Amino acid sequence: MSRSTSVFNKLEKAGRYAEDTVLMLILIGMILLAGAQIFLRNFFDYSLFWGDDLLQLALLWLVMSGAVAAARTGEHLRINILAQFVPRTARPWMYAALHVFTAAVCAVLAWQSVLLVLESVEYGDTLFGELPAWAAQLVMPAGFGLLAFHYTVRCLSEVFHGLRRRPAHGSVT
């Protein structure tokens, strides 16, 4: 295994562990909170006034974390019609170009999310009465930033593998 492949594998493994942990904690928290809300409503005619809002916010975090995990494993929604028309030897380059485009879009969304968070800080927006809204909104720049990171790594991996698959100069394939 080459050194660059080892670095890619270590980066991917660390990211996988962190993202899976976040997904698991959010999902468990949502299940417990939703269960508590149902129990309290059915047996005590009471509910946590902040419970539904927190579940909505947790759903945003779960969706962003899930998108990052899906992009990491390549299980995201993808329309792969173009690959049928591109020669097999050129596909790594096609995928690299697609990953660059996706990373660029995610980077723009991350930047715009940063601007949203900064605006929220400036205006002093709050959630649940006292929680600064920017703390909950951090998932957007973090999520889009991680998506941009994953697609950049995928692009570099495709380019690296594409270069390795190229035939030697002068050989016939």
Q: How confident is the model at residue 4 (pLDDT cuts 50, 70, 90)?
A: low
The pLDDT value given to residue 103: 93
- Average pLDDT rounded to a whole number, residues 118-138: 88
pTM of the model as a whole: 0.73
In three-state form (DSSP H/G/I as H, E/B as E, the rest C), the secondary structure along the chain is CCHHHHHHHHHHHHHHHHHHHHHHHHHHHHHHHHHHHHHHHHHHCCCCCCHHHHHHHHHHHHHHHHHHHHHHHCCCCCCCCHHHHCCHHHHHHHHHHHHHHHHHHHHHHHHHHHHHHHHHHHHCCEECCCEEHHHHHCHHHHHHHHHHHHHHHHHHHHHHHHHHHCCCCCCCC
Q: How confident is the model at residue 18 (pLDDT cuts 50, 70, 90)?
A: confident
- Average pLDDT rounded to a whole number, residues 133-161: 88
Quote the percentage of the chain above a pLDDT of 70.
Answer: 89
